[in-house]
Structure 1
Amino acid sequence: MENNNIDYILEEKAINLKISYLQKSNFTTLMTTSNTCCIMLCEKGSCHLTLKQNQYEIKPKTLLYTYLPFSVSKEDISNDFKAIYITYNHLTSDNIGVFKYISPYIFVMLENPVVELTEKKFEWLMSFCEIIRRKQEIEDDNIAKEAFNRTMMVTLLVEVRNIYKDLSIKNNISPNDVRYTRSVQITKDFFNLLMQHFTIHRDIRFYAEKMCISPKHLSSSLKKTTGQTCNKFIGNIVVMEAKQQLLSTNKTVQQIAFDLSFPNASFFGKFFKKNTGISPNAFRSQHEKIVKKV
């Protein structure tokens, strides 16, 4: 892959996806925040980082996938290090759109942030990222760019999900595996319950009672494993479902509010705007224009 020091920023505000090609020559300090998910594919050399007090080595043909904050300095990478580095805001509702596919493997991801890939899988992912990079070079229309970015982001995350699915099968890891820490188990159970009940229940106390633990215990466990709060995940999954209904159905805002157990359309509208910065009707209208333009 041709070296390029430019960051290709995919101009979808909700996703904020960035692709960088990292080498020793253009490397300073790499830092992620609690809102950032990182995907790294190492082509050559090595990199060392610490996650949850555990040391990991990134080496050729390995994938790093994590949404826990970390930092890497220039001293942590080898002189011949070369990798593709992707970040995006994992809290945005558009990204959570694939959450239902990822959630069954979330505990495997937490325990295995670094995965060795087969030659074919590694080459495919590198080629896929190169397609995104090239598209950014030739596409000038921001609306078309946004639609392309959204599709590619979902595809990339499903690819990552399949890698962890294969890892689970290879290592004979079942959804009820008891080898994982209590905090990870609590996190997994919370996500499973969330997918079943988020359209009705948005109170952390409900999920804590279902798991026979205190709300404080649930919050601290989720914060420990993901760096995020229960309310943040609950809010984002509700907004994701609202967006899907706004874009894929002819339901009125009142009907969607009812489906998601809001007392009325006004309350739902305020919730939606607080989390997205735009009203439900404006969101629907905006994306209808994007579809027509593309």
Structure 2
Amino acid sequence: MNPQTIRSMNEEDRLQRLEQALSAKHLICSSEGTITAFPPILRRPYRIYGLCLMLCRRGSFDFRLNGREGSAHEGETLFAPENATIEVTNCSPQLAVHVFAFHVEPIRDIMGNLALSMYPYTELSAETCHVWHTGEEDELLQYIALLDDTLKHGQELFNSFEQKLLLIGLTYRLCSIYSRKLVNRSSNLSHKNETFIHLVDLIEQHYRKERGVEFYADKLCLSPKYLSNLSKAISGYTVQELVFKAIVREAIMQLKNTQKTVLEISEELNFPNPSYFGTFFRKQTGMSPLQMRRNEGK
């Protein structure tokens, strides 16, 4: 059997695995390398239950993303938003593309406000599509290659933890790429997004003590109403909701990764007493702090 036939069989296997993973909505769905065609599931409207990257390494492909037509060419990456509907409509004969999709939920509680709010996929602008040449495609592929390797190890003891850490690293890299793109714009939208970045940075510094919009508005020399409207328009969350998300994220991290008591955690997060903290936590997460701790392996 010649090497070309072996490569073709390998790609056929990988296409089949990708089709099955997308159909089953696996945590990670990857082409595990470049492919020269898309699986059938992506050639018809498909709703992505996570985030999806399509890195075009050679040739080009056309697509329909949430009803909008677009195309990606050699050296460009398509960033498909969470819960978007995508359909690949045409491919060039010399296509080589790397497809990678992953769910956000398993890492959402671990990620900071900046990543949650500055997602490349939160529709921060009215762009007609999400395609551009980042200049960092090779670095993204390094993350993806490491994640692809974890797919070979199944349910091994530490494999799921490694996957989460790698997914967090990849997501932060994507957020970094996207925030640079936004800040470098010369439009009024760029100024608003730059203000928003400063806001979430302030929240990361002060959320343990400062929970009112007035504090953050004063720091940014803005009116509370204007800042609240800006935050809601950009991220879909009010300033207070972003603060609460930061508190909950820190509380979950402490509950799952330390032996601190609920009293100690509530004091560290400046709640007047454990009961008040427990009421707040249940309202935000649907479970008590102790229930969250008991669910640490899930």
TM-score (normalizing by structure 1): 0.67
Rounded to whole Å, the distance in 2 between the matches of 1:206 and 1:125 is: 38
Q: RMSD value over aligned CA atoms? A: 4.4
Rounded to whole Å, the distance in 1 between the matches of 2:221 and 2:69 is: 33
Shift of 1:69: 6.8
Match of 1:99 among 96, 100, 112: 112
Aligned to 1:121: 139
TM-score (normalizing by structure 2): 0.67
Pair 1:159-2:175 in alignment: no
Aligned to 1:29: 45
Match of 2:215 among 206, 212, 237: 206
Pair 1:253-2:271 in alignment: no
Shift of 1:175: 11
Tell me how many residue pairs correspond in the alignment.
266
Q: Which has the higher contact order (CA 8 A, sep 6+)?
A: 1
Rounded to whole Å, the distance in 1 between the matches of 2:198 and 2:145 is: 35
Q: Does the CA-based 8 Å contact 2:47-2:83 persist in structure 1?
A: yes
Rounded to whole Å, the distance in 1 between the matches of 2:279 and 2:28 is: 30
- Where structure 2 has 5 or more consecutive residues not aligned to the other structure, the ranges are 1-10, 32-36
Shift of 1:157: 3.0
Shift of 1:260: 0.9
Shift of 1:193: 0.8
Q: Give the letter aligned to residue 86 of structure 2.
A: V
Task: Evaluate the alpha carbon distance shift between residue 250 and residue 160 of structure 1 in structure 2; reply closer, same or farther with a 3 A threshold.
Answer: closer
Rounded to whole Å, the distance in 1 between the matches of 2:64 and 2:228 is: 26
Shift of 1:148: 3.5
Rounded to whole Å, the distance in 2 between the matches of 1:49 and 1:29 is: 8
- Where structure 1 has 5 or more consecutive residues not aligned to the other structure, the ranges are none
Rounded to whole Å, the distance in 2 between the matches of 1:49 and 1:214 is: 40
* Structure label with greater radius of gyration: 2
Pair 1:217-2:226 in alignment: yes
Aligned to 2:239: 230
SS of match in other structure, 1:23 = coil
Aligned to 1:78: 91
Q: Does the CA-based 8 Å contact 1:39-1:87 persist in structure 2?
A: yes
Shift of 1:257: 0.8
Match of 1:6 among 14, 20, 27: 20
